[in-house]
Structure 1
Amino acid sequence: MQLPILSYGHSVLREQCHDIDSGYPELTKLIENMWETMYGANGCGLAAPQVNVPVRLFLVDSKTTYDKMDDRSREDYFAANDTGIIETFINAAIIDESEEVWTDEEGCLSIPALAEPITRPWSITMEYFNREFIRQTKTFYGTTARMIQHEYDHTERVLYLDHLKPLKRKLLQGKLEKISKGLVKAKYPMKFAK
C-alpha cells in the first residue's frame, strides 16, 4: 500500500526516532509499504519518519540509479566494483566516515520540486540490521553512501537543508513555506503540515 509522504514542516520529521526490535508490530508490512511508497514516488530512498512512523528504519535503492547511468557517470558517482544496493537499514549507526568529501545535488520526497548541492563524506561505514534482522557492518561509497547518509539523517531529525549555510536556507524560506502549506504539488500522495 502506498503511504502518504509527510511534507516539509510536518512535526514528525523532527521527532526523536526510536530503535526497534524484530518483534516490532507489523514490521514486514511497514517495510513492504515503504518500498511501494518509495517506488511509487520515483524515489531512491525513504525513511520511516517520512511516512509518519518515528522509528530508526530506512530504505535505499542505489542499484536503479547505477543501472540508468552510462559508464562515464558510473566512474564519477560509484566506486569500483560498486553496482549499487537495494537494502533495508534498521537501527543504523555511522561508525566511520572518510575525510574525503564531495558535493552533489540532493532532493527529498518530503521537499518536492527543490534540490540543492550538499557536501558529504565520500565513504561511510555503517552498523545496522537488515530486513531479516541480521547485524551488518559494511562500508559504502559514492552515491550509495550519499543516499544512505541522506536517509540516516531523517532518523536523526535532520533534513538535507540543515546542511546548507544559514543565508541559503533563508533564501529558500518562501519556497519551503509553500511546500509546507501544500501549495507545491507532488506526483505522489503527501500529508502536509498543520
Structure 2
Amino acid sequence: MIYPITVYGDPVLRKVAQPITKDYPDFDQFVKDMFETMYFSDGVGLAAPQIGLPIRMFVVDASAAADEEPELEGFKKAFINPEIIETKGDEWTMNEGCLSLPDIREDVSRPEFVKIKYLDENFVEHIEEYGGFAARVIQHEYDHLEGKLLVDHLSPLRKRMLKSKLTNITKGKVKTSYRIIIPGSRK
C-alpha cells in the first residue's frame, strides 16, 4: 500500500515519535509499505511521521548513490526505535530535499559521521557507524522522529524567505508526483 505523505504544517511532524514494539499490527507488511511509499515518492528515506504515524521508525535506501560512494551498494535498511549515540567529524553542507516539504531544496550542514543504535525489522539490536551520504540520510530521517524538519537547520533569514512557499504547502498549493495529506484534512 502506498501511503500519502504528510506535509509541512501537520502537527504530527513536530511531535517526538514514540517507540514501537514487536506486536505492532501487521508489522512486516507495514515495513514493506514504507519502502513502497518511499520508492513511489522518489525518496531515499521515509520516516513514519511523514505518513502521519508518530512512531520511531524510518526506512532508507541510498544504494542509488553507490556510483559516488561504493559502500552504499545495497544500503537498504529499516531503523526501529533508533537512538543516535554520537555524531562526529567536520560538518559538511549538501543540498537536501524532503517529501514533507515539496518544492523546497536547501543547503544543510550536518556532521560527517553518525553512530546509531537501532532495531532491524526482526527487532535485532545493532550499533553501527556511518559516514558520508548514509550518515546524512540517517540524520535527516532521525530528525523527523524528533519533530525536526530541514527548515529548522536554516537561518532565520532563510526561513523568512521561504515563508510563502511554506504557507502554500500548508494549504496544499503545491504540485507533487505523490499524494499528500494537507494539514487539518486528516480524519
TM-score by length of 1: 0.91
The corresponding residue for 1:100 is 90
Give secondary structure in 1 for the equivalent of 2:39: helix
Distance between the aligned counterparts of 2:142 and 2:130, measured in 1?
A: 13
Matches within 5 A, 1:47-86: 47-66=47-66, 69=67, 74=68, 78=69, 81-83=71-73, 85-86=75-76
Distance between the aligned counterparts of 2:54 and 2:108, measured in 1?
A: 24
Superposed CA deviations along residues 69-95 of structure 1, whole A, max 9, x for unmatched, are: 4xxxx2xxx4x7453610000010111
Gap runs ≥5 in structure 2: none
Distance between the aligned counterparts of 1:101 and 1:48, measured in 2?
A: 26
> Is 2:24 the counterpart of 1:34?
no
Give secondary structure in 2 for the equivalent of 1:98: strand
The corresponding residue for 1:125 is 115
- Return closer, same or farther for 1:81/1:183 CA change in 2, 3 Å cut-off: closer
Query: Number of matched residues?
Result: 184
Give RMSD over aligned pairs.
1.2
Gap runs ≥5 in structure 1: none
- Asked if the contact 1:84/1:144 (under 8 Å) is kept, the reply is no
Structure 1 vs Structure 2: percent identity of aligned residues? 40
TM-score by length of 2: 0.94
Distance between the aligned counterparts of 2:94 and 2:13, measured in 1?
A: 23
The corresponding residue for 2:43 is 43
The corresponding residue for 2:128 is 138
- Asked if the contact 2:65/2:72 (under 8 Å) is kept, the reply is no
